[in-house]
Every structure is written in C-alpha cells, then in structure tokens.
C-alpha cells in the first residue's frame, strides 16, 4: 500500500505540477522566441540602418551627378547663347552696312530698311528719279541679308514665291476719300 500511496502521490503531484511545468516550459519557449524576435529586430534595424545609409549615399551621389550635369549643361547653354548672340549682332550690323558693302551696282540711297519680314526694299533707280536723271525705276527688289549658314524663313520663302509668280500689286489708300467708306 505504501507503494500505492507513493504512486498516487506521484500521479497527483505530476497532475498538479504538470501544468505548472508546461507553463514554465511555455514561458521559456516564449522568452526564447521573444529573444529571437528581438535579435531579428535588432539585426533588421542594423540592416535597415545600413540600407538607409546606402540609400542616402546613393541619393547624395545622384544629386552630385545631377548637379554636375546641370553645371555642364548650363555652361553649354551659356556658350551656345553667347555664340547665337554674336551671330545675331553680326547679322544686324551686316544688315545696316549691307547697302555699302554690296558690289551689286545698286545705289545705297535706293535702299529702304524694312526689318521684317525682309530686311530691305530696294527701289533701284530712285535716286536718279529724284535727281531728274530718269523718269522710271529700274526695278523693285525685296532684299534679305543672311550671314553664316542662315536661310530664308517660311514667310520669306512665301514672299519670294509671290514675287516670282508676279503676285505683286501697287495700291493707294486715302482715308479722306469717301469712296473708301462705301466699300
């Protein structure tokens, strides 16, 4: 019987202690898992910090690259603008001196600066008509001055075609003429 009581005591004790032991084991497993999670979080934060630093470093390098590109692009744009400005100034100066520079046999006094869309209208022989040396003009010339590699604009080509096809007229408008109001 003593064995029986001992056996019953062990069974009762294990029944009582078993949940306690399970809870203790569960708590130990839980604590172990929490430690693993904490270690993982720490590792992730370290990796994240490195990753963040890598991203920040990449961002900084990219910004430096972009700033350098912009600086070089700006230098190119400025150099191009200066070159174009010089070209435009040269063209404008040439326009004003063209009547005196041309070896065309045209009298510089017959040139009239028009500016846009063409540079000059040349009334060939105008100075002779004014001096009484002639009664008529030789011709009327639409003249555009080009420097460098520039060519005619779309509008200038249209004017050239109109002149070449003879679509040129002479008109008179008198705002004081009452017939103009009726039309």
pLDDT in tens, 18-27: 666 667 777 7
Q: Which two tokens stand for residue 108?
A: 């510089």
Torsion angle of C-alpha atoms 103, 107, 113, 118, degrees rounded to 10: -50
C-beta separation of 122 from 128 below 8 A: no
Secondary structure letter of residue 110 according to DSSP: G
The band of 124, judged by pLDDT with boundaries at 50, 70 and 90, is very high
In angstroms, the CA 166 to CA 25 distance is 110
Backbone angles phi, psi at 118, to 5 degrees: -125, 160
The pLDDT tens digits for 37-54 are 777 777 777 777 777 777
pLDDT at 142: 93
Give dist(CA 104, CA 119) in Å, integer: 16
Interval 126-178: pLDDT, tens: 999 999 999 999 999 999 888 777 889 999 999 999 999 999 888 888 888 87
Q: What pLDDT, on a 0 to 100 scale, did the predictor assign at position 115?
A: 81
Say what the pLDDT of residue 62 is.
83
Q: Is the pLDDT of residue 66 over 70?
A: yes
- Predicted confidence at residue 94, as pLDDT, reads 76
Contact predicate 118/156, CB 8 Å: yes
Name the residue among 167, 145, 169, 170 with its Cα closest to residue 156.
145
The pLDDT, as a whole number, for residue 121 is: 92
What's residue 27's pLDDT?
76
pTM, entire model: 0.51
């Amino acid at each position: 019987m003593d064995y029986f009581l001992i056996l019953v005591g062990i069974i009762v004790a294990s029944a009582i202690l078993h949940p306690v032991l399970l809870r203790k084991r569960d708590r130990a497993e839980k604590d172990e898992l929490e430690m693993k999670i904490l270690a993982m979080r720490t590792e992730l934060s370290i990796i994240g910090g490195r990753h963040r630093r890598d991203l920040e470093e990449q961002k900084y390098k990219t910004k430096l690259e972009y700033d350098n590109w912009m600086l070089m692009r700006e230098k190119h744009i400025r150099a191009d603008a200066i070159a174009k400005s010089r070209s435009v100034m040269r063209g404008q100066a040439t326009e004003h001196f063209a009547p005196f520079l041309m070896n065309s046999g045209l009298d510089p006094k017959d040139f009239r600066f028009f500016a846009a869309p063409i540079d000059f209208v040349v009334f060939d022989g105008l100075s002779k008509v004014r001096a009484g040396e002639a009664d008529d003009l030789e011709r009327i010339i639409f003249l555009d001055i080009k420097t460098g590699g520039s060519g005619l604009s779309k509008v200038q080509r249209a004017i050239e075609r109109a002149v070449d096809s003879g679509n040129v007229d002479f008109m008179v408008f008198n705002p004081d003429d009452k017939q103009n109001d009726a039309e």
